[in-house]
Each structure stands twice: as C-alpha cells, then as structure tokens.
Amino acid sequence: MTSEKERMLRGEPYDASDSELVAERQHARELTRKYNRTTATESDRRERLLEELFGSVEDATVEPPIRCDYGYNVHVGENFYANFDCVILDVRRVEFGTRCLLGPGVHVYTATHPLDAEERAAGLESGAPVTVGDDVWIGGRAVLNSGVSVGDGSVIASGAVVTEDVPAGALVGGNPARVLKDVD
C-alpha cells in the first residue's frame, strides 16, 4: 500500500490531511518558529536549526522569518542567501545551486491543485519540483511556480511570476515572466 507521503513525493495526487503529513508540517512549523525567534548573534543556533529543517544545506544565511511546509525537501548549495520573509512550499524537492541570492519575500511553490473544481473540492493536491541553478539572483517578491527550472546565471526581476522554465543567463521579468534580455 502506498502512503500519502509516498504519493506526494512522487508528484501524484495525495491527501494533505493525512496524519503523517500533518505531523511533519507541524514539526517544520515548530523548527521555523524557533528559527524565526533567533537573534542576529545566534549564528550557531541558526545553523543547527537549518541543518535540522532542510534536507541539505551548506553555508547558508537565511534572514528570519522564513516559512516552509516540510523543510526536508529544501536543498541549498554553498553561499546561499535568503532575505526576510521567504516562503517555500516544498511538497516536492526544491533545489538551489551555489551562490543563489533570494530577495525579500521570494515565494517558491512546488504545491499545486487541480484545475477542475470538482477535483479541487475532493481535497487532493499534488506538486512538481523546482530547480534553481548556480549563481541565480531572484529579486524581491518574485514567485517561482510549481515545476519550473531556472538556469545558471539567471536573474529573476523583482515581482516576476515565473510560470515556465528560465534559460541560463537570462533576465526575466513580468507576470507571467518572460525573457527581457541576456545578462551576459
């Protein structure tokens, strides 16, 4: 028998009210609550909490507050920086490469719901992974939607809503985001 968590991690429709998933979200909320209450001088404590919360983390700076669903699906490379008020809905894997910068209020959504109203009313949801390459800068209040990939060296303009993959070395902006120019 397949668990709801297994379905979620495979990107299949799943029931988010499953007791195992509810408990895991509560655990992530407890860790983020502790993290968000740290002070700027508690760098060791922040590091320990991020190591417990995220699936993998190397040399990250995350300005509180931060929010996420599960945490264990978030993987960040070296020299990762997230400014204040970031939200990562990580029902699927979210991967950030090395030297990624997130402006304030960046949101990353792997979770999605059915387009059909009757299916939505049934309460099932699903998700698709989000991948961000190396040396990417994501401007404040930008949104990365479920299933997108952002290529190495790209820049996401402030307020952009990314609904499709972003090629390497591109500057994208707007809603929905579109390529504005190459950054090279």
Q: What distance in Å separates the CA atoms of residue 97 and residue 152, rounded to the nearest whole number?
A: 8
Nearest to 107 by CA among 127, 130, 123, 126: 130
Active-site hit among 27, 75, 107, 113: 113
Residues comprising the chain, all counted: 184
Helix (H) or strand (E) holding 103: none
Nearest to 85 by CA among 69, 103, 97, 61: 103
Instruction: Give catalytic status of residue 113 as yes or no.
Output: yes
CB 154 within 8 A of CB 139: no
CB within 8 A of 19, min separation 6: which ones?
none
Q: What distance in Å separates the CA atoms of residue 139 and residue 180, rounded to the nearest whole number?
A: 14
Q: Which residues are catalytic?
A: 113
